[in-house]
Chains A and B, each alone.
Chain A
Amino acid sequence: QSVLTQPPSVSAAPGQKVTISCSGSTSNIGNNSVSWYQHLPGTAPKLLIYDNNKRPSGIPDRFSGSRSGTSATLGITGLQTGDEADYYCGTWDSSLSVHWVFGGGTTLTVL
C-alpha cells in the first residue's frame, strides 16, 4: 500500500486532456513539494514536473502540475499515443525520518 494514493488507470482519446490525482497527508504533500515522473517499464523514469508545477528543460507545456493542501494533480493536454506510460507522483515524507515516497502509479492509455 503506497503512502500516496493515485488512481490505477486513466484513459482518453488522442488530442484530449487527462488529469491524474495524487493524495497524501500533512507529513508529505501538505508540507513538501511534489514531483511527477513518467515511466515506461524497463527504462529510466523521467522527471516531468518538479516543485509542484515546474517543468524541466525539454518537457513540453502540454504537461502541467498543481498542488492544493494534501493533494496534487498532473495534467496532460493534447494527448498523443507516445504519452502512454505509467505516471508516478513523489515527494518527501517526514512522518518518521525524512524519506522519499511515491504514489502507486497510474497507467495512462490513449485510446
Chain B
Amino acid sequence: QVQLVQSGAEVRKPGASVKVSCKASGYTFTSYNINWVRQATGQGLEWMGWMDPKSGDIVYAQKFQGRVTMTRNTSITTAYMELRSLKSDDTGVYHCARPVCPHGVCSLGSWGQGTLVTVSS
C-alpha cells in the first residue's frame, strides 16, 4: 500500500531554515508528483507547491516563491521540502501528499503523517 513517511519534529529559531523529508513506498515514486501542504497554527490547509519526481519540474505557490525549495532523491524514493527565513507564523504541521488520479481526475489521496515545525526564539 502507498505510504508516505515524514521526518520528525523540528525546532528552529527565526531566520533559520528547515528541511523536511518524505519517504515514499508502495508505488513507483516517479509516477506521481509530490505536493506539500501545511497547516500553520490556527490556520487551515495551505498548498505550498508540487514537484514531479521524474522530470524535476516544480510549481511553487506564489506565497512561498523565493523561500521554499522542493527536491527529491529518486534512488531512495524521498522528497524534500526546505523552507528558509523562518518566521514564527511558519510554526505548524507540514504534510507531503500524493495524488490519486482515477480516470485522469486527480485529488490528494495519500498523505504523510505530518512534521511539526516550531519556530521560536
Contact = CB atoms under 8 A, between A and B. Distances in A.
Same complex origin of A and B: yes
Interface of A: 2, 33, 35, 37, 39, 41-47, 50-51, 54, 56, 86, 88, 90, 92, 96-105
B45 interface: yes
Interface size class of B (residues with CB under 8 A): 20 to 34
A42 B35 contact: no
Contacts of B49: 99
Given A37-B45, A101-B47, A90 B95 contact: no
18 contacts: A33-B107, A39-B45, A41-B39, A41-B93, A42-B93, A44-B95, A44-B111, A44-B113, A45-B97, A47-B108, A50-B100, A51-B103, A86-B44, A88-B44, A100-B50, A100-B108, A102-B45, A102-B47
Nearest to B111: A44
Main secondary structure of the interface of B (DSSP, over half): strand
Contacts of B47: 90, 99-102
Contacts of B50: 99-100
A2 B44 contact: yes
Given A46-B111, A50-B109, 12 more contacts: A35-B108, A39-B39, A43-B113, A45-B45, A47-B100, A47-B107, A50-B105, A51-B102, A100-B47, A100-B50, A102-B47, A103-B44
A47 B37 CA distance: 14
